[in-house]
C-alpha cells in the first residue's frame, strides 16, 4: 500500500455549535477546505462531540485501504452529470451501504467513507494534484453535510440573503437567473448568507436559515449585467473556467448576515420581457419544486426529519415564481416592499 505517509495537520472549525476537526497531510487537500470554511475557523475547540473528517492523498486506486463486505448493497449510481451549478464536479459515482458505513465511490477520483455513528468521514483522493480545487471542495462538502444532517443541520441548493432580520432564499438550477437575481439584491444592501448552500435547521417555533458564506461564482453572462463586476480587477474577481469568483465583502459594502427567519423563497426563470413580475405559488407546488434542491438522503429517518424541516420552511414563507425580465438592476424595487410587509 502506497498511501502517502506525511505528518498530518489538524484544522479546527465550529459550525453553529457543532465542532469539527479536519486532518490531512496534503496542502492540496487543505487549501480548498480552509477556503470553504474560512468563516468558521477556530484556534481551539471547547465543545465535545467533534465531527472528524480526514482526507488522504493516494497515487493510485489500489492504494485505498477499503474492503467491502458481501452484505453491502448499492443505493445509487450516476454517470457523471453536472451537479447543480458546478459542471466541473460531475463525476461517475456509486453509493454503497455497508453496515453503518456509507461509501461514495468516485472511481478514478477517489472514495469517501462516512460513518455517521462515529461522526467521521474519510476521503481518499487519487492524485489530488490533477483534481480541480472545486472538486476537492465538493467532495469534502458531501462528507460534511452527510454528518451535519445528523446534527439537525441541512442544506439546499440556493442562494440566500438577509435584510432587517428577514431571509430571502433563491432556489433553482443553473441558467434560471438564480445568481443574477441574488447579486441584484446583494448590491442594493441585502446582506450575504450563501451563494450555493445555506444551512437550515428547526429552531422550535420556526425554521431558521444560517449563513454559509463562500466565494460567489459567476458566469461571464452574469458579469455583463453589473458594471462593478465588469470593471473589477483580477485580484477581486478571480479568473476561472467556466466561472469566475469573488468574495462579497471584497466588492460590496455589505457584511455576512445573521441567522434569521426566512420570509420569502423565489424560484426564478428568465423571460423575454421588459419587466420582472412575481407569481405566488401554492405551498404544495413550492415544496414540490424545492425538494429536488436538497441533497440526496440515504437514511430513511434522516430523510423524514429533513422533509419535515423543508415542509415547515415552505409553510412559514411566501413562495413565488420570479419571472425575471430585462430590468435586472431594478429587482430590489419588486422584492424589498414585499419583504418589508413581512417584517411589519
Question: pLDDT tens, 236-245?
Answer: 999 887 889 9
Whether residues 166 and 304 share a domain: the answer is: yes
Q: Distance (Å, rounded) from C-alpha 201 to C-alpha 261? A: 10
Q: 3 in a domain, yes or no? A: no
Q: Are residues 92 and 169 in the same domain?
A: no
- Output the domain CATH number for residue 279: 3.40.50
Do residues 147 and 175 both lie within one domain?
Answer: no
Of 127, 151, 175, at which residue does a domain stop?
151
Residue 1 lies in a domain: no
- Residues 161 and 202 placed together within one structural domain of the fold: yes
Cell numbers for 157: 441548493
Q: What is the mean pLDDT of residues 145-173?
A: 94
Q: Where does the pLDDT of residue 105 fall: very low under 50, low under 70, confident under 90, or very high at 90 and above?
A: very high
Does the residue 260 lie in any domain? yes
Residues 140, 196, single domain; the answer is no
**Residue 129 counted as domain residue:** yes
Picking from 151, 184, 200, the residue at the C-terminal end of a domain is: 151
Q: How far is CA 148 from the centre of its chain?
A: 12
pLDDT bracket for residue 216 (50, 70, 90): very high
- The verdict on 192 and 339 lying in the same domain is yes
Residues 225 and 299 in one domain: yes
Q: How far is CA 273 from CA 36, 104, 122, 328, in A?
A: 37, 44, 49, 11
Residue whose C-alpha cell is 423563497: 265
Residues of the chain above pLDDT 90, percent: 77
Decide if 217 is inside a domain: yes
In a domain, residue 2? The reply is no
The residues pairing with 10 across neighbouring beta strands, listed in sequence order, are 23
Q: Is the residue at 253 inside a domain?
A: yes
- Mean pLDDT calculated for residue range 171-199: 91
- Parent domain of 68: 9-151
Q: Total structural domains in the chain?
A: 2
pLDDT at 85 over 50: no
DSSP string, 257-275: ---BEEEEEEEEEE-SSSS
Last residue of a domain, one of 131, 151, 171: 151
Does residue 168 share a domain with residue 37?
A: no
Helix axes 27-36, 133-148, angle to 10 degrees: 60
- 183 and 139 in a common domain: no
Residues 140 and 184 reside in one and the same domain: no
Helix-then-strand count for the chain, H and E: 9, 20
Work out the average pLDDT over 223-242. 92
In tens, the pLDDT along 60-79 reads 999 999 999 999 999 888 86
Q: Give the side-chain half-sphere CA count within 13 A for 247.
A: 13
Residues 189 and 40 in one domain: no
202 in the same domain as 162: yes
Angle of CA points 220, 109, 131, to nearest 5°: 40
In tens, the pLDDT along 106-158 reads 999 999 999 988 999 999 999 999 998 989 999 999 999 999 999 999 999 99
265 vs 42: CA distance, rounded Å = 32
Beta bridge partners of 74: 96
Q: Which strand (E) or helix (H) includes residue 166?
A: strand 166-171
pTM (predicted TM-score) = 0.90
Question: What's the mean per-residue pLDDT of the chain?
Answer: 90
Angstrom distance (rounded) from CA 298 to CA 76: 9
Give me Rg for the CA atoms of the chain: 20
Q: Does 136 reside within a domain?
A: yes
Q: What length does the chain have?
A: 344
Amino acid at each position: 500500500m502506497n498511501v502517502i505517509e506525511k505528518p498530518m495537520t489538524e484544522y479546527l472549525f465550529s459550525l453553529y455549535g457543532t465542532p469539527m476537526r479536519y486532518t490531512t497531510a496534503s496542502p492540496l487537500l487543505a487549501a480548498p477546505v480552509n477556503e470553504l470554511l474560512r468563516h468558521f475557523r477556530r484556534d481551539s475547540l471547547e465543545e465535545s462531540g467533534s465531527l472528524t473528517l480526514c482526507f488522504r492523498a493516494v497515487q493510485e486506486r489500489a492504494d485505498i485501504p477499503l474492503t467491502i463486505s458481501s452484505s453491502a448493497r448499492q443505493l445509487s449510481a450516476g454517470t457523471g452529470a453536472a451537479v447543480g451549478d458546478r459542471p466541473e464536479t460531475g463525476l461517475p459515482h456509486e453509493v454503497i451501504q455497508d453496515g453503518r458505513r456509507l461509501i461514495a465511490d468516485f472511481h478514478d477520483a477517489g472514495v469517501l467513507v462516512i460513518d455517521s455513528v462515529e461522526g467521521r468521514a474519510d476521503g481518499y483522493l487519487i492524485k489530488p494534484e490533477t483534481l480541480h480545487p472545486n472538486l476537492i471542495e465538493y467532495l469534502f462538502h458531501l462528507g460534511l453535510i452527510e454528518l451535519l444532517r445528523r446534527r439537525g443541520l441541512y442544506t439546499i441548493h440556493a442562494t440566500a440573503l438577509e435584510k432587517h432580520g428577514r431571509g430571502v432564499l433563491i432556489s433553482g438550477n443553473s441558467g434560471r437567473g438564480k445568481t443574477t437575481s441574488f447579486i441584484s439584491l446583494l448590491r442594493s444592501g441585502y446582506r450575504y448568507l450563501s451563494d450555493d448552500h445555506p444551512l437550515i435547521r428547526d429552531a422550535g417555533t420556526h425554521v431558521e436559515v444560517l449563513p454559509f458564506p463562500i466565494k460567489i461564482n459567476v458566469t461571464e453572462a452574469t458579469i455583463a449585467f453589473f458594471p462593478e463586476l465588469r470593471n473589477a480587477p483580477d485580484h477581486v474577481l478571480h479568473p476561472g473556467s467556466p466561472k469566475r469568483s469573488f468574495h462579497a465583502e471584497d466588492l460590496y459594502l455589505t457584511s455576512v448576515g445573521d441567522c434569521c427567519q426566512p420570509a420569502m423563497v423565489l424560484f426564478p426563470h428568465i423571460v423575454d420581457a421588459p419587466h420582472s413580475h412575481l407569481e405566488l405559488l401554492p405551498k404544495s407546488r413550492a415544496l414540490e419544486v424545492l425538494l429536488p434542491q436538497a441533497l440526496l438522503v440515504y437514511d430513511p429517518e434522516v430523510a423524514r426529519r429533513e422533509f419535515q424541516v423543508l415542509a415547515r420552511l415552505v409553510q412559514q414563507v411566501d413562495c413565488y415564481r420570479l419571472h425575471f425580465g430585462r430590468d435586472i438592476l431594478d429587482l430590489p424595487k419588486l422584492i424589498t416592499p414585499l419583504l418589508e410587509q413581512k417584517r411589519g
